[in-house]
Structure 1
Amino acid sequence: MPDRDRPLLAVLIDADNVRARDAAKIMREIAAIGEPALRRVYGDWSSEHLKGWREPIHALGLVAHQETANSRGKNATDIGLVIHAMDILHSGKFDAFVIVSSDSDFTALVNRLREDGLTVIGIGEEKTNPALRNVYNRFILVENLKDEEDSNDTAAKPKPKADMNHAYQLIRTAIERCDTEDDWVALGPLGVNLMAAHPDFDTRSYGFAKLSSLIKAMPKLEFANKDNRPMVRPKT
């Protein structure tokens, strides 16, 4: 791959499993990750339940692919998306895939793409099966994404204490996995470790925009800047 400032992304959207009203905030999230050079959305556009996609397709510059179901019970959208994904993979033009769907039928596809060394990011709803979430390099919940009118509202409200306890356990385990000379762990490697073990880990799930803010809210963890590096350790 040539050197690039931003990774080149192939974005494949399953319109049968994504709400049209979420399309704009999904594409904003993707644009923050890399350059969505290829952006395709798949569905049977003769279907009445996909009529809400007409405006987002034009407004967001998406390329709509018609997938006609020739027999009842067969998901033509899934099959068409998978076939195109393999064609895109063999083109060798892209650094990463973004698959937007909550459908666990794409588990085998994600595994296949990762076997070729590509990064695969998933975006879907909370209902997405954990088995699918965990095969991605990273999985982003649609529920964590802000609508455009909310994008300037940076105020974060923590979720209930039970969720915070869960976050603490994940972070504490990740700290223990990090190889350090003392009990301090750099924030960057900690975040990488968290994402590797839990692709769907997202500080926004707990009401915080950044990992550092989440850690600072935990009384059992200590946060400090050491030699201009953000560091964290469990309190003794």
Structure 2
Amino acid sequence: MAEPEKRIALLIDADNAPASKIDVVLAEVARHGVANVRRAYGNWKSPAMKGWESMLHEYAIRPIQQFAYSKGKNASDMAMVIDAMDLLYAGKLDAFAIVSSDADFTPLVMRLLTEGVKVYGYGAQQTPEPFVNACTVFTYVEALGQPANADNGTTKAQPAKELRGDTRLVQMLRNAVEAAGDDDGWAHLGAVGSQVGNQASFDPRNYGYRKLSDLIDAIGLFEVKRQGPIVLVRDKPKGRGKRS
């Protein structure tokens, strides 16, 4: 019997998310399950929300009206948090997808994770790191719907020197390879991906690479062995990395 599809609540902070990217965000969410709850929060009286109107109807997203009760305060954030907790306690969902570039949602993400549900985040590249790192997986919207390793825009592949200079990324990959490796240090790439996902929010597309294997090849710190469809990875001895 086929495993039932995961039920996902898609909650959009429309004040801090581009309407032009909602189609690719929905396609990405569909990789994880069915977004059977779709809500977008904002002050729909505001002219700034005009770009969202056609998207709401086209993608069956329910608009949730929030007036700005006081200057400088975002009532939409509070409404999203309240709805997320109500949906969580209803117990009928497997995951949440939050579309925002606002770090104020970090405590909400951490609370949802403690209940054993996954949280997929989508936002702009300027999204603060606490929110990015809190999510099960966070993907920059600039990386969605663009050719992999593009030579223009924000999806351009980071070069090996830049990748190796990212100590967090290097340590995360090395820890994952070590944890998944056999006695000779070889680890199945799929197991490495799972280990990385357990450590922190991670998506190779945020670095300009379509797949984890492409990123592993580019960083030049690991030996790669391909046996048909199976890809094995192990850490290179120090000093033998590729030159950039």
Change (3 A) 1:225 1:5: farther
More displaced 10-residue stretch of structure 1: 79-88 or 216-225:
216-225
Percent identity between the aligned chains? 39
Q: Report the TM-score when normalising by structure 2.
A: 0.84
Q: Report the TM-score when normalising by structure 1.
A: 0.87
**Contact 1:8/1:37 (<8 A) preserved:** yes
- Residues 119-158 of structure 1: pairs in structure 2 closer than 5 A: 119-146=118-145, 153=147, 158=157
Measured after TM superposition, the shift of residue 111 of structure 1 is: 1.5
Change (3 A) 1:181 1:25: same
1:89 alignment counterpart: 88
Looking at structure 1, the residues matched to 160 and 227 of structure 2 have their Cα atoms a distance apart, in angstroms, of 29
Change (3 A) 1:76 1:218: closer
Looking at structure 2, the residues matched to 19 and 155 of structure 1 have their Cα atoms a distance apart, in angstroms, of 22
**Contact 1:8/1:94 (<8 A) preserved:** yes
**For 2:120, what is the secondary structure of its paired residue?**
strand
**Contact 2:180/2:188 (<8 A) preserved:** no
2:105 alignment counterpart: 106
Change (3 A) 1:217 1:71: closer
- Residues 157-168 of structure 1: pairs in structure 2 closer than 5 A: 158-165=157-164, 166=166, 167-168=169-170
**Contact 1:163/1:206 (<8 A) preserved:** no
The letter of the residue matching 1:48 is P
Looking at structure 2, the residues matched to 4 and 224 of structure 1 have their Cα atoms a distance apart, in angstroms, of 32
Gapped regions of structure 1 (runs ≥ 5): none
1:235 aligns with 2:236: yes
Q: Deviations over 1:114-148 (max 9, x none)?
A: 121111111111111111112111111111111xx
RMSD (CA atoms)? 2.1
The letter of the residue matching 2:108 is L
The letter of the residue matching 1:230 is V
1:43 alignment counterpart: 42
Q: Aligned residues, how many?
A: 228
**For 1:39, what is the secondary structure of its paired residue?**
strand
1:18 aligns with 2:20: no
**For 2:8, what is the secondary structure of its paired residue?**
strand
Gapped regions of structure 2 (runs ≥ 5): 151-155, 238-244
